[in-house]
Structure 1
């Protein structure tokens, strides 16, 4: 039997941890999903179980290396951002993997922004709103002032994708897609680290910067596979689209966060956009990508639990609810909501209107679910509209969980009647992006141009909003 050359990709989300094997045509020939129980940090806040994650990497690799039908040519990683692993001289983690949703001390935040020009000016420089722990650089700043003895022991602070890469390569590195992901580390105007990173002695804790296409040899003797540096998941998800499409588009990458990414919009962020949770990412090519974030996947998950509990149903029932135009018409009439509510501005986008709705007012759980998705779609319209400027965007692609939600997709088509709306049924955009980033290092074939299957959603009369 001939061994098939493959790349292994670890795709680590907040909820699901996945391993994929792609062949040279970028077909998935193996997939595994795991979930880990969260643990607690020293303050009792929930956090990722880093040891379980580390062990699962080696356990999974032992399994795939034992297969006789494939040969692993390379391994890469895509994970959620805003999470740092602090390692000592021996490469051992010094702290838990702190949760990016952990509350940030107000006094420390005030101290930081007072010292470095104020929130508004600093946010423009670093192309990120003030997000507390979600600005991962602030986690390192906090450690310096709250736990100086641990800060002193840090050899490197690695973002999670680069820590996972380090486990296999032994090479500590920083990657542009992670450093450029609302970290407060990067000055987008100067295209370099922000001066505070040097002044606070943080730069020496950051590993050397590598390109997203760089690879290292595996650290284990006798293995000849290449190890990628790892990528931030939102930037990885954009790669297949940049490879396949050259006309201006916006990608809504949906998961826990729904992130609208416009790689064709290079207009500087305004203070108003920053206040409304817009930011810039750095693409795998090192170019700014204007983005707008919405916590819609998390909101959907929480509200689906509330609907299911109220109507005594199982949450799995809502994975495949059909779009019902009659229900949408009824809800529109009831809500008198002919256009997306313009009042949903700063501070209101991360929690939908649905959380305030009385579930007793709905005739059924399906009606309630349509209202939930309608509320989320209205928020999505506002969030995505913020990044549409700067280029004549003809298409919006939706990938991830919401691309399979026909209610969401029909409503989005109605909200953007002048733009073509497509559900992108591509096998795992984030993982595929991580594979494409190091195509040259493992794949003997040309880069394919048919990676993405698109399903067009036209405006239907009953969905017109």
Structure 2
């Protein structure tokens, strides 16, 4: 039997951990998904069980090698950012994988920014809004000051995607997509690490920076393989689009966060933008990508629970609701409409969280109002990164791309821009596979990686 050449990708989200195999045409030929139970750190705060995750990666990789239908050519990794794994000189993990949602001590935060130039200047230099633990560099700073004896044992602090690679290769590396993602580590103006790392004597714990296209040889059971060094999942998900489209576009990636990426906006971040949760990601080629964030998926999840309880419907009843333009028209005509200006994208929730559900006769009407409320903030967030760029298309991927009300309102809000629902099979994993293309794939990149559906 002829075996199919494949690349294995570990795509590690906070909730779902996936292992996928792609063939040379970048079709998914095998997929496994699992949810691993969390553990807690020394303060009792929930966090990733890094030992359990490590064992799952090792076991899953060895299981792939036993599959009779496939020949493994390479392996790479995509994962969520803003989380560090701390390794000592023996290669052992010596601290929890601290959760980026953990609150940050206010006095320590104040001490940091007072010492290193103030919030405004520092945020501009690092393209990182002030986000506490979500600025992953602040986690290392906290470890050094609060647990100096433990920090003294750290040989390498690896962002999670690079640690995933380290599990198999034992070779520490740093990747630009992880450094450049609201970490407080990278000076976007000087294109190097920010000087605070040297001043605080933290720089030595970071592994050498390697190109995202690096292929690391390693041995497993006397057989030779190659591995990538891993990518931040948001940057990895953009790769299929950058490979497929050259004219200016915005990618609206929707999930728990709705992130608007504009790879064609090269203007420096302003104070106004930073205060409204704009930031820069980094492409795998090392180019800044202006982006804005909205916690829209999280709000949607919370509010549909509320709707289900109030109207006595199943949680997923919203998936049956079609776009009713008459309902939208009636909502617009009411005085208590959501169609009013939004001052900021960075708010806890839209107007819907405070709406009285007794005012809605049906679930359908209330759900249309929810999406309209979210869309008001979404349009504002997109405009923050749209600026003066000549964007002609908006691609929407993820959960909201399948929502007809959301897509209709988005297309209506940008009548001069063509809006598409975009479908990419496992975009983050696909991007991680594509960066190693020349190292494992004998065929040309296919031209149908992104499937589009236009919304007029």
TM-score (normalizing by structure 1) = 0.95
Are residue 53 (structure 1) and residue 53 (structure 2) matched?
A: yes
Question: Does the residue aligned with 1:323 lie in a helix, a strand or coil?
Answer: coil
Question: Does the residue aligned with 1:454 lie in a helix, a strand or coil?
Answer: strand
Q: 1:45 Cα shift?
A: 1.5
Counterpart residue number, 2:353: 355
2:355 and 2:56 map into 1 onto residues whose CA distance is 41
Query: Superposition pairs for residues 400-411 of structure 1, below 5 Å?
Result: 400-411=398-409
Q: Deviations over 1:323-343 (max 9, x none)?
A: 22222223222355474x323
Q: 1:300 Cα shift?
A: 1.5
1:223/1:297 Cα in 2 relative to 1: closer, same or farther (>3 Å)?
farther
Residues 58 and 167 of structure 2 are in contact (CA less than 8 Å); yes or no, is this contact kept in structure 1? no
Are residue 319 (structure 1) and residue 319 (structure 2) matched?
A: yes
Counterpart residue number, 2:180: 180
Q: 1:320 Cα shift?
A: 4.5
Residues 338 and 351 of structure 2 are in contact (CA less than 8 Å); yes or no, is this contact kept in structure 1? no
Query: Superposition pairs for residues 147-166 of structure 1, below 5 Å?
Result: 147-166=147-166
Q: 1:305 Cα shift?
A: 2.0
Q: 1:362 Cα shift?
A: 2.1
1:275 and 1:363 map into 2 onto residues whose CA distance is 38
Where structure 2 has 5 or more consecutive residues not aligned to the other structure, the ranges are: none
Counterpart residue number, 2:103: 103
1:379 and 1:200 map into 2 onto residues whose CA distance is 39
Residues 342 and 380 of structure 2 are in contact (CA less than 8 Å); yes or no, is this contact kept in structure 1? no
2:452 and 2:345 map into 1 onto residues whose CA distance is 33
1:314/1:51 Cα in 2 relative to 1: closer, same or farther (>3 Å)?
farther
Q: 1:351 Cα shift?
A: 1.8
1:155/1:338 Cα in 2 relative to 1: closer, same or farther (>3 Å)?
closer
Residues 402 and 409 of structure 1 are in contact (CA less than 8 Å); yes or no, is this contact kept in structure 2? yes
Question: Does the residue aligned with 1:93 lie in a helix, a strand or coil?
Answer: coil
1:45 and 1:332 map into 2 onto residues whose CA distance is 43
Residues 20 and 431 of structure 1 are in contact (CA less than 8 Å); yes or no, is this contact kept in structure 2? yes
Residues 267 and 390 of structure 1 are in contact (CA less than 8 Å); yes or no, is this contact kept in structure 2? no
Q: Deviations over 1:210-245 (max 9, x none)?
A: 111101113424232211111011111110011010
1:49/1:245 Cα in 2 relative to 1: closer, same or farther (>3 Å)?
same
Where structure 1 has 5 or more consecutive residues not aligned to the other structure, the ranges are: 459-465
Residues 238 and 429 of structure 1 are in contact (CA less than 8 Å); yes or no, is this contact kept in structure 2? yes
Counterpart residue number, 1:237: 237
Counterpart residue number, 1:345: 344
Q: Deviations over 1:413-453 (max 9, x none)?
A: 11111110001111111111111111111111112222111
- Cα RMSD of the aligned pairs, angstroms, is 1.5
Question: Does the residue aligned with 2:385 lie in a helix, a strand or coil?
Answer: coil
Counterpart residue number, 1:280: 280
Question: Does the residue aligned with 1:225 lie in a helix, a strand or coil?
Answer: strand
Residues 86 and 154 of structure 1 are in contact (CA less than 8 Å); yes or no, is this contact kept in structure 2? yes
Q: 1:191 Cα shift?
A: 0.2
Query: Superposition pairs for residues 30-429 of structure 1, below 5 Å?
Result: 30-334=30-334, 336-337=336-337, 339=339, 341-345=340-344, 347-348=346-347, 350-429=348-427
Q: 1:360 Cα shift?
A: 2.5
Question: Does the residue aligned with 1:76 lie in a helix, a strand or coil?
Answer: strand
Question: Does the residue aligned with 2:281 lie in a helix, a strand or coil?
Answer: strand
1:325 and 1:51 map into 2 onto residues whose CA distance is 51
TM-score (normalizing by structure 2) = 0.97
Question: Does the residue aligned with 2:152 lie in a helix, a strand or coil?
Answer: helix
Question: Does the residue aligned with 2:308 lie in a helix, a strand or coil?
Answer: helix
2:78 and 2:194 map into 1 onto residues whose CA distance is 25
Question: Does the residue aligned with 1:137 lie in a helix, a strand or coil?
Answer: helix
2:420 and 2:8 map into 1 onto residues whose CA distance is 28
Q: Deviations over 1:81-115 (max 9, x none)?
A: 11111111222222221111111111001000001
1:304/1:49 Cα in 2 relative to 1: closer, same or farther (>3 Å)?
farther
Residues 294 and 346 of structure 2 are in contact (CA less than 8 Å); yes or no, is this contact kept in structure 1? no
1:22 and 1:320 map into 2 onto residues whose CA distance is 32
